[in-house]
Amino acid sequence: MEYHNPVLLKETVDGLNIKPDGVYIDVTFGGGGHSREIMKRLGPDGRLFGFDQDEDAQANIIDDPRFTLIPENFRFIKRYLRVFNIKEVDGILADLGVSSHQFDVAERGFSTRFDAGLDMRMSKRNDVDAFKVVNEFEEKDLKRMFFEYGDLRNGGALAATIVEARAQRPIMNTGDLKAVLSRFLPAHKSNKILAQIYQAIRIEVNQEMDVLKEFLEQSLELLKPGSGRLSVISYHSLEDRLVKRYMRNGMFEGEPERDMFGNFEVPFKIIEKLIVPTEAEIAQNNRARSAKLRVAEKK
């Protein structure tokens, strides 16, 4: 089984404008597809660091002295690069979301296709899993999660139904969850609604929005002024909105203060406003269909 078919491979790596002797970071190493493309473009003095908190990714380590895999969450990017005395880098790549491998391994609980335990952790070291979220979170927190992370307007009803059901007995697996929420899953769009429910739980389990914000802020600090590039693929509007806003004005909400002339300083120069996969790539790799690539350079 292929671990992960990299999305927008050429476009994402092209966006980094690779220098042969540069230092680059792939914060979502996964199957190593993007990393291997970066390695092809590096010279003997170039360096690449990969981050991946998923223990399964270690099976794909690139055997090359120029490459180092750091088996940690990329929210700690600055902390772990400091261990290697790296304070400044030429480019950072992030392919957000769930890998093909994580979707295809039934017991990880990411896919609506399988009956599995309620897990959804991107790292098995994470204390919070989907079982804990579904069975222990307060109703108001479940409602917020479904509304914010799943874009489910009936989040309140979903949350109330879960709380009522788990009072009788624990919701043990994905089959139980589907059964409990069956009245919200009409046949003609059950897969779409289930995907939204799963997405909401997964984002909560892995704190994906907080992780992304912390990563973007640290990326700005790490990139070399005047040339350092950030190349990010997102898969849903929540992620893309954060990436777009931060690249545009260095903030996640609101607008920066303007001077007396109405101008404000922005930290990035936008290199590519938005790149999406071609129809040919989507036909070859269905998981590319919602991908959005944005590239920016630190000023």
Domain C-terminal end among 206, 232, 250: 206
Residue-wise pLDDT tens digits, 247-276: 999 999 888 777 777 777 889 999 988 999
Same domain, 214 and 196: no
Domain region containing 214: 9-101+208-298
Measure the CA–CA gap between 95 and 12, rounded to whole angstroms.
9
CB atoms within 10 A of CB 203: 22
Residues 89 and 123 in one domain: no
Q: Do 96 and 241 fall into the same domain?
A: yes
Q: How confident is the model at residue 57 (pLDDT cuts 50, 70, 90)?
A: confident
Dihedral sign for Cα atoms in the order 200, 193, 119, 168: positive
Q: For position 204, what pLDDT does the model report?
A: 96
Query: How do residues 193-203 score in pLDDT, each as one tens digit?
Result: 999 999 999 99
Last residue of a domain, one of 175, 206, 237: 206
Same domain, 95 and 148: no
Q: Are residues 85 and 130 in the same domain?
A: no
Q: With respect to residue 33, please indicate whether it lies within any of the assigned structural domains.
A: yes
Q: What one-character-per-residue DSSP string does 114-141 give?
A: S--BS---SSTT-S--HHHHHHHS-HHH
Per-residue pLDDT, 2: 47
One domain for residues 83 and 146: no
Instruction: For residue 4, name the pLDDT band (cuts at 50, 70, 90).
Output: low
Mind giving me the DSSP string for 140-171?
HHHHHHHHHHH--TTHHHHHHHHHHHHHHS--
Query: Is residue 53 over pLDDT 90?
Result: no
Q: Tell me: the pLDDT tens digits for 137-188? A: 999 999 999 999 999 999 999 999 999 999 999 999 999 999 999 999 999 9
Give domain status of residue 48, yes or no. Answer: yes
CATH assignment of the domain containing 37: 3.40.50.150
Res 258: pLDDT: 76
Question: What average pLDDT does the chain have?
Answer: 91
pLDDT at 98: 67
Give the lowest-confidence range in 105-109, 222-226, 282-286: 105-109
**189 within a domain of the structure (yes/no):** yes
Residues 191 and 226 in one domain: no
- When divided into structural domains, the chain yields a total of 2
Q: Is there a domain that residue 283 lies in?
A: yes
Q: Which of 177, 206, 235 corresponds to the end of one domain?
A: 206
Question: Average pLDDT for residues 243-250, to the nearest whole number?
Answer: 94
Question: Given this model, what pLDDT does residue 114 score?
Answer: 53
Same-domain pairing of 78 and 63: yes
Looking at the structure, do residues 202 and 113 belong to the same domain, yes or no? yes
- Same structural domain, 197 and 279: no
Mean pLDDT confidence for 66-73: 96
Q: Please check whether residue 225 lies inside any domain of the structure.
A: yes
Query: Is 3 contained in some domain?
Result: no
The reply to whether 137 and 59 lie within a common domain is no
**Does 171 lie in the same domain as 89?**
no
Q: Write down the pLDDT at residue 103.
A: 42
pLDDT at 58 over 60: yes
Please give the pLDDT value at position 208: 94
Domain containing 168 — which CATH number? 1.10.150.170
